[in-house]
A = this chain, B = another copy of it.
């Protein structure tokens, strides 16, 4: 039976690269696998499709994140699909990779509150020894994220509801791993409609207060 299944029906699953910002660094969520195969190794959160519970593979991805982190993510999108007989020791498999963004102010909640072992890893260098082909998955998910941001999509889903332009710039810099020119960056933002000022609200510090902004109504993380 197992053999028959192997021959005729591939294993279908979803994996999620959940990104956030921690201390100004772009990080990705890993979980320590509690079950075989690859038990004990770090991996992206993932699970097999449950046709009786999931209305789509995107639903599968959302279910995975709910189960592992308790979060409803504000942004989730397909990155790529991987398939073949050798990716998973259980047999012919298809897995759909998603990437998702979670606001920086929810990061502590994720890392702290779970019984399962979860950890944030540097997105650009998640470490060696990951399960399956997940090192490649992370690289692909990051590549897709960078591609969008390079094309001027604003990763507002990584920020709190209200944020300063400098915070946004630091976030974009963390994703692209390079410094941006302040005045050019701000000029670009003004030309768009993605942001709106929150009138009269400022972030205060030991310096001139910074205007707070929020995402415009109907904002989407896309070009």
Partner-B contacts on A (CB < 8 A): 5-10, 12, 49, 51-52, 55-58, 78, 80-81, 83-85, 91-92, 94, 96, 151
Determine if A49 and B10 form an interchain contact, defined as CB atoms under 8 angstroms apart. yes
Chain B residue numbers with a CB within 8 Å of A57 are: 81, 83, 94
Chain B residue numbers with a CB within 8 Å of A10 are: 12, 49, 51
Given the known interface contacts A9-B9, A51-B10, the answer about A56 and B83 at a Cβ–Cβ threshold of 8 Å is yes
Q: How far is the CB of A14 from chain B (nearest CB, A)?
A: 9
Q: Which of B5, B81, B83, B85 touches A9 (beta carbons < 8 Å)? A: B5
Q: How far is the CB of A165 from chain B (nearest CB, A)?
A: 27
Q: How far is the CB of A213 from chain B (nearest CB, A)?
A: 28
Cα–Cα distance between A199 and B72 once the two chains are bound (Å)? 60
What are 16 A-B pairs with beta-carbon distances under 8 A?
A: A6-B51, A7-B51, A8-B51, A9-B12, A10-B49, A10-B51, A51-B91, A51-B92, A55-B84, A56-B84, A57-B83, A58-B83, A78-B81, A81-B81, A81-B96, A151-B151
Chain B residue numbers with a CB within 8 Å of A78 are: 80-81
Chain B residue at minimum C-beta to C-beta distance from A97: B81
